[in-house]
Structure 1
Amino acid sequence: MQDIISSRRITIKDSQSKYCVAGFADAYQAYVNAEEGGAVYAYWLLVGVGFLVTAVGVITMIFGPETITYNRMTGPTLFQYIQIYPGPIATIGGVCMAVGSKLGSKMIMTCESYLQANYQLIAEDGKDVTNVVKVTHLGEDKFEIELNQ
């Protein structure tokens, strides 16, 4: 294994399949730390709360009473409001889940995807082969890169 890298360019040789990309682990860790910045937690919070609220609305629609009585002077309680408006409550839960899923769709790239997105892979003849290689991360800065020809 040898370093064949100059300023984010990797020269792919036919005779070699294992490469050491100097500084990759640090660059990837910096990327992960920057991308994680709370979006992952917001994803789980919104999806979890949205699921619970949707479940409460749907269960109330299915098993809720046909009539609701409450004191006109004090108004309905929270539980009675849930019984009165199960459809909008289920819709709000669905919207929370959709927003959470949108946050979750911007998940962190794998090591292989990050390498292909941020490094230029060049064949020995000078042709860009970034999109026609099979990349396997072996750990730390080590990769197995095979040309698909």
Structure 2
Amino acid sequence: MDRARKAIRLRDLPAEIRLQTSRPTTTWISLISCAGVALMILGVISLFLGPDRTYYTEAHGFDFVQFFQVFPGRLLCIGIVLTGAGSALDHQVITAYRNALQDELDAAIDIAEEAIPEGFVLAVAQKSEHLYRISLIRQETPVAVQPVQQPVPAGEH
């Protein structure tokens, strides 16, 4: 049942809606984070297990392994920056997805808070990637909390 075009009202519950917003792919962001973690590990290993001195000629420069042995701190810093950038990008993409999904859900559901019967809560459950089930469920009432008695100072009985 596709009701994304027609807003769901209280009398339609329980209902299923199909939303158009799909989860974004973050493969390239994961690759950035993985490269950062790899550089961090390589930097730490080079820092602790690298030689005290590295010899090279100015004519030929460093070979591949010597490059990692000479600059372990820089590799570690670049790894930290790449991992942080990947994490920030991932957070930004997921936040944008959640906001778009929430906006689409708000547009698809036309039920005011005041219209929900007392003791019930509007529940949205995801059945598949694009299919959501909206229903009213009974809200569990918390156990009555005993009021906390304030201690009385010894002189005021």
Q: TM-score, normalising length from structure 2? A: 0.63
Letter in 2 for 1:135: V
* Equivalent residue, structure 1, for 2:68: 82
Task: Provide the rounded CA distance (Å) in 2 between the counterparts of 1:136 and 1:64.
Answer: 54
**Matching residue of 1:116:** 105
* Structure 1, gaps ≥5 residues long: none
What's the counterpart of residue 135 of structure 1?
124
Decide which of 14, 18, 23 is 1:18's aligned counterpart: 14
Indicate which of 42, 66, 80 corresponds to 2:52. Answer: 66
Check whether the contact 1:12–1:124 (CA below 8 A) recurs between aligned residues: no
Q: Secondary structure at the match of 1:66?
A: coil
**Equivalent position amino acid for 1:44 in 2:** S
Deviations 1:96-141 (A, max 9, x none): 11121122222344xx8575354344149668xxxx6321133564
SS of structure 1 residue aligned to 2:8: strand
Whether the aligned pair in 2 keeps the contact of 1:134 and 1:148 (CA below 8 Å) is no
More helix by share: 1
- Whether 2:135 is the aligned partner of 1:145: answer yes
Partner of 1:103: 89
Root-mean-square deviation (Å):
3.4
Gaps of 5+ in 2: 140-157
- Tell me how far apart the structure 2 counterparts of residues 116 and 148 of structure 1 sit (CA, whole Å): 21
In the comparison of the two structures, how many residue pairs are matched? 130
- How does the TM-score come out when normalised to structure 1? 0.66
Larger Rg: 2
Q: Is the 8 A contact 2:122 2:134 kept in 1?
A: no
